[in-house]
Amino acid sequence: MGRQATSGAAPAAVTGRAPRTARTRHIIPGFGLTLGITLTALSLVVLIPLAAIVFTGAQMGPAKFLQVITRPRMLSSFYVSFSTALVASTANAVFGTILAWVLVRYRFPGRHVLDGMVELPFALPTAVAGIALTALTTDEGWVGSVFAARGIHLAYTRAGITIALVFVGIPFVVRAVQPVLEKLDPSVEEAADVMGASRSLTFRRVILPELMPALLSGFGLALSRCLGEYGSVVFIAGNMPFKTEIAPLVIMGDLEQFDYAGASAVAIVMLAVAFAILFAMSLVQARSARILRGGE
């Protein structure tokens, strides 16, 4: 036995090499190569175009930049875009969660059809969505005529803009919340019910904390999409300055007048707001992941 142990250790002593240990094999080998390809693709598709926008807007100087983004018409369009996007995203957070709950927790005929229709705003061209929503919400439309009889006008108002943004933003919330609901253990709710908790208390203390990271992520994605939405809004908005004019429409107007620097200045503001929202969303996701790892 001693001789076998000595002979087994001899090759390592002779060669001077440490015995091999098991290494983790990756499906995609070559970290340097894959990182280079990733950074190259990200630069070509995202970073370089965004840098061109910032470079074009920076050519006018700080004073001219502030003058462009603080003109009264521009401030009004910012207010319309941000306020309607915030209201629409809040509505999407509520109704998107309800829709995801129905799709996950209930079984009924046509459920899979409804589940597929949730992603219809992704596939539908935004111009087609805008024309369809405008036809529905005008005073002669199917929906607009009902409200017009009561003195409420939907099309060519901020309410119509909000409706269009709800249409394009609700899939983000549904698809963010739905996987979390599918993984949520119903036995936890049953335990809360056995302990005497009401339905509202169970939702607030058991279900909502689990849904909150995904709900905030869906809210942030919907808000970012609503801020930059153009095609589905331009038809239903009416585009009246100081009333229903949105910031993306001002950008298009500057481009039509060959004012690339002015359009880039407005785009930089919209880009900064969208980046701040997405960055905050990533912080929420990272914090929730740390909490989950700590709980495990």
pLDDT at res. 190: 79
CA dist 83 and 268 (Å) reads 19
Class of domain 62-295: mainly alpha
- Per-residue pLDDT tens over the stretch 172-190: 999 999 999 888 877 887 7
- Per-residue pLDDT tens over the stretch 6-33: 444 444 444 455 455 455 565 655 666 7
- Outline where the chain has alpha helix (H): 2-15, 31-42, 48-58, 62-69, 72-105, 111-117, 120-123, 126-137, 144-148, 158-183, 186-194, 199-202, 208-228, 231-237, 247-256, 260-295
Confidence band, pLDDT 50/70/90 cuts, at residue 207: confident
What average pLDDT score do residues 167-176 get?
A: 93
pLDDT at 118 > cutoff 70: yes
CA dist 120 and 180 (Å) reads 21
Of 279, 226, 289, 276, give the one whose Cα is nearest residue 93: 226
Which is more confidently placed, 83 or 208?
83
- Per-residue pLDDT tens over the stretch 253-274: 888 888 888 899 999 999 899 8
- The domain ranges of the chain are 62-295
Has this prediction a pTM greater than 0.85?
Answer: no
